Amino acid sequence: MHGLMMDTPLLISDLIRFADRNHGDTEIVSKTVEGDIHRYTYRDAHARARRLAKVVQGLGLKAGDRIGTLAWNGYRHYELYYAISGMGAVINTINPRLFPDQIVYISNHAENTALFFDLTFLPLVEKLAPQLKTVKHYVLMTDRAHMPAKSAIPKLLCYEDLMAQQDDGYEWPTFDEHTAAALCYTSGTTGNPKGVLYSNRSTVLHAYGAALPDALNLSAYDSVLPVVPMFHANAWSLPYTCTMVGAKMVFPGPHLDGKSVYDLIEQEQVTLSAGVPTVWLMLLQHLSANKVRFSTLNRTVIGGSACPPAMIRSFQDDYGVTVFHAWGMTEMSPLGTVGTLKAKQAKLDKEARYAVQAKQGRGIFGVEMKIVDEEGKELPWDGKRFGNLLVKGPWIAAGYLKGEGGDPLIDGWFPTGDVATIDADGYMQITDRSKDVIKSGGEWISSIDLENIAVGHPAIAEAAVIGIQHPKWDERPIVVAIKKPGQDVSREELLKFFEGKIAKWWMPDDVVFVEELPHTATGKLSKLTLRQTFSDYRLPTA
Ligand code: AMP
């Protein structure tokens, strides 16, 4: 027997239509590429997104077409999110920090018919355009005043000129909720990036999940600043989730240094922000160097790579900002778990609470998890046994665009490539990326645990731990670390700092101090690059 409820499709265009109706005067504030502040409301954004849908159609682009962007977090990028997905086409947000070859690969693989890009990326696009085989239209996301006098791109179009030629009399079409909406390529440390194709349905369901009180706890009370870029897993869905709940949005544009982010947080009374640990490192350094505090920020989402407990402590103890440690991946839209406390844990003493928060968090309804051993046998949720983490749910990828890499699923579960424990309360803790875990004497050492200890030392700014070949033990860990400006610590002192915090055989074999650590295009430590850099390094113990 079927239920007798309406079968209305879950469409992205309904998010912005709803925001216009219910939160029409709530602001969307952007710091532009040019450096000034742009302000308008959900009502204005909705009108402009409809106008933009007419622009896109006017260029001859149709439902199902893929349309690329190379853009920062800003209102025009937000309009593109809604115009493109709302008309039934697919927005392909390309990460401009990727190698040029990868950008070309992605655009050609997606068969993008148009490319919208910020002024910052004009030189890059001019260089790449001859190789972008499928792109017919190049649109610079600026106004007439900022258009270049001449460009290597013939028929370079101006976003605001195109907008001026249309009106906002556009009705969002209704279509199947499974229709593709957005396309993000995974960072892909090896091989070519692979395309993850979100649907309208998966995006709306994910936004519901992300907004839940035990996830990001978002509401119309909030002013939200996504530092995480709109080209990194849809800024962790904030452009959809904030629209769903009517939160004010604050876009930082390319201004991502500690001072700019801090000033914008204060000026726009931001209550929640989100980004990878490296960004927060810059912000925390700015706060301590200038002895300033937040007046409105009360929580921050930190994910993308493990958030060191020292960072959680600093935010909470020094600045009164609650940290939501979150885990996910591009293939998961991206949210999987968030580290919010249950009532029973809120009653624990501070150290015990911090131990819970250092984990990557509990699954959101919509994300089922399990851990399995090497043979695929399910492991218990005891917080001790660690194994390969698999996930399942309506906002998790079932495959990659054009079937690249074959069928990724194992009995209907998506293998995350992460190694984790899950405790009896459902809190998952990432031990490592399976490629990064250090195998010593047949046992595993967690590089994340060692990194967390290293950055807990007052003189260490950032640290990476990698495994180095060892004739007897297979691999042994070494710490590669950056010291904080004006602080000093010796190799021996840092090694001593590990004593009593880990099993003896986990003790790193060496410490190497460096000026800089390599990061990927999404701001994660690039262990791959680091392993290459240290390929000739010999352990003192070997
Ligand atoms: P991406 O799809 O580029 O966002 O990468 C996803 C991967 O980032 C995950 O599979 C994890 O290995 C890693 N990751 C994301 N969030 C966390 C976290 N909070 N702690 C540890 N690793 C994380």
- The whole-number pLDDT of residue 534 equals 92
184 inside domain: yes
pLDDT at position 191:
73
Hey, which residues does 362 pair with through a beta bridge?
A: 338, 427
Q: What average pLDDT does this structure show over 46-61?
A: 98
Supply the pTM of this predicted model: 0.93
Residue 483: CATH number of its domain: 3.30.300.30
Residues 6+ apart with CB under 8 A from 535: none
Q: Kindly report the protein residue whose alpha carbon is nearest to atom 12 of ligand 1.
A: 433
The pLDDT tens digits for 454-488 are: 999 999 999 999 999 998 889 999 999 999 999 99
In a domain, 149, yes or no: yes
Whether 418 is in a domain gets the answer no
How many Cα atoms occupy the beta-carbon half-sphere of 86 within 13 Å?
A: 26
User: Of 152, 167, 202, which residue sits at a domain end?
Assistant: 202
Q: Look at residue 18 and give its three-state secondary structure.
A: helix
DSSP 406-417: S---BTTBEEEE
Lowest mean pLDDT across 99-108, 117-126, 363-372, 467-476: 467-476
Distance CA 190, CA 193 (A): 8
Taking the CA atoms of residue 131, residue 135, residue 137 and residue 143 in that order, the dihedral angle to the nearest 10 degrees is -70
CA 461–ligand 1 middle distance (angstroms) = 20
Residue from 301, 329, 364 to probe ligand 1 pocket by mutation (most atoms less than 8 Å from CB): 329
In a domain, 244, yes or no: no
Identify whether 237 is part of a domain: no
State the total domains in the chain.
2
Let me know if 395 is a catalytic residue: no
Q: In what order do the strands lie in the sheet with 66-70?
A: 157-158, 137-140, 114-117, 66-70, 90-93, 180-185, 195-199
Mutate to test the pocket of ligand 1, among 97, 184, 194, 305 (most ligand atoms within 8 A of CB): 305
Question: Where residue 130 sits, what CATH number does that domain have?
Answer: 3.40.50.12780
Share of the chain above pLDDT 90, in %: 90
Q: Which of 202, 225, 253 is the last residue of a domain?
A: 202
pLDDT at 266: 98
Alpha carbon distance 101, 73 (integer Å): 23
Both tokens assigned to 259: 């001072």
Largest CA distance in the chain: 72
174 in a structural domain? yes
Residue 331 catalytic? Answer: yes
The Cβ of residue 486 has, within 10 Å, a number of other Cβ atoms equal to 6
Catalytic residue among 331, 451, 462, 475: 331
Average pLDDT value for residue range 329-355? 95
184: domain range?
Answer: 9-202
Residue 419 lies in a domain: no
Cβ of 430 less than 6 Å from ligand 1: yes
- Considering only CA atoms, which of 70, 68, 76, 80 is closest in space to residue 31? 76
**Are the CB atoms for 362 and 428 separated by under 8 Å?**
yes
Task: Please provide the average confidence, as pLDDT, over all residues in the chain.
Answer: 95
For residue 41, being part of any structural domain is answered with yes
Tell me whether residue 186 is one of the annotated catalytic residues: yes
**Residue after which a domain boundary falls, among 170, 202, 234:** 202
Write out pLDDT tens, residues 173-219.
Answer: 999 999 999 999 997 656 789 999 999 999 999 999 999 999 999 99
430 Cα nearest atom in ligand 1: 21
Whether 275 is in the pocket of ligand 1, judged by its Cβ within 6 Å, is: no
pLDDT for the residue numbered 461: 93
